[in-house]
Chain A
Amino acid sequence: GESVGLHLPTLSVQEGDNSIINCAYSNSASDYFIWYKQESGKGPQFIIDIRSNMDKRQGQRVTVLLNKTVKHLSLQIAATQPGDSAVYFCAENIGRGTSYGKLTFGQGTILTVHP
């Protein structure tokens, strides 16, 4: 996707609220999607993934929704906690052929959770 420079989208929530982070992916051929969490000074940390044959997948406090028609992903975090504050990235992958090893990242969303 295109870079939009230094101004990442931001989401501010109160502790205990539910958070929804959205992502538009770029390639209609992508068939594997991942959400990563990145805390300051650290590498991305895997949260949850989903394949294109599913439209919803749930983990512990997190749910990923996939809408292939409009090429849209969302990450829902239930009962958001201050420790959830981070930058969240979606990533897409084409799981076949020469593109198998490639993961393309979105620009990221800054989530801030206020106590």
Chain B
Amino acid sequence: NAGVTQTPKFQVLKTGQSMTLQCAQDMNHEYMSWYRQDPGMGLRLIHYSVGAGITDQGEVPNGYNVSRSTTEDFPLRLLSAAPSQTSVYFCASRRGDYGYTFGSGTRLTVV
């Protein structure tokens, strides 16, 4: 198993551009989440999904969209990038009652 795979690892965007951060897991996990981590801080939940076709907002959802058309994939879309969205983004998946497994992150800079 590859676990949780995030692409790209690094990205620079200009203000106003849009892009999609990809996340895939091959563990058949039901639950998937997106977090952002700003310097010196913990992770904050952006959006999460409890299964294909079901998504919900987390703590900081504004400016981001998600969809979950398959169990394996959970892409995060930035609609119009802003400098405040400069952060490290982590995708995670979870099976049942166990803790989340995290990807290695995408470092995004918006200039």
Residues of A in contact with B (beta carbons under 8 Å apart): 1, 3, 5-8, 32, 34, 36, 41-46, 49, 89, 91, 95, 98, 100-108
A44 touches B43 (CB 8 A): yes
Instruction: Please measure, in the bound complex, the distance between the C-alpha atom of A101 and the C-alpha atom of B59, giving whole angstroms.
Output: 12
Number of B residues with CB within 8 Å of any CB on chain A: 29
Seen from chain B, the residues whose Cβ lies within 8 Å of a Cβ on chain A are 4, 31, 33, 35, 39-45, 48-50, 56, 58-59, 90, 92, 94, 97-105
**Residue among B4, B33, B40 having the largest count of chain A Cβ atoms under 10 Å:** B40
Once A43-B103, A43-B104, A45-B102 are accepted as A-B contacts, the answer to whether A100 and B50 lie under 8 Å apart by CB is: yes
Give the residue name and chain of the B residue nearest to A103 (CB): B100
Find out whether the CB atom of B99 lies under 8 angstroms from the CB atom of A101.
no
Closest residue on chain B to residue A104 by CB atoms: B45
User: Chain B: interface secondary structure?
Assistant: strand
Contacts of A89 in B (CB 8 A): 42-43
CA distance A59 to B46 in the complex (A): 31
Cα–Cα, bound, A77→B69 (Å): 41
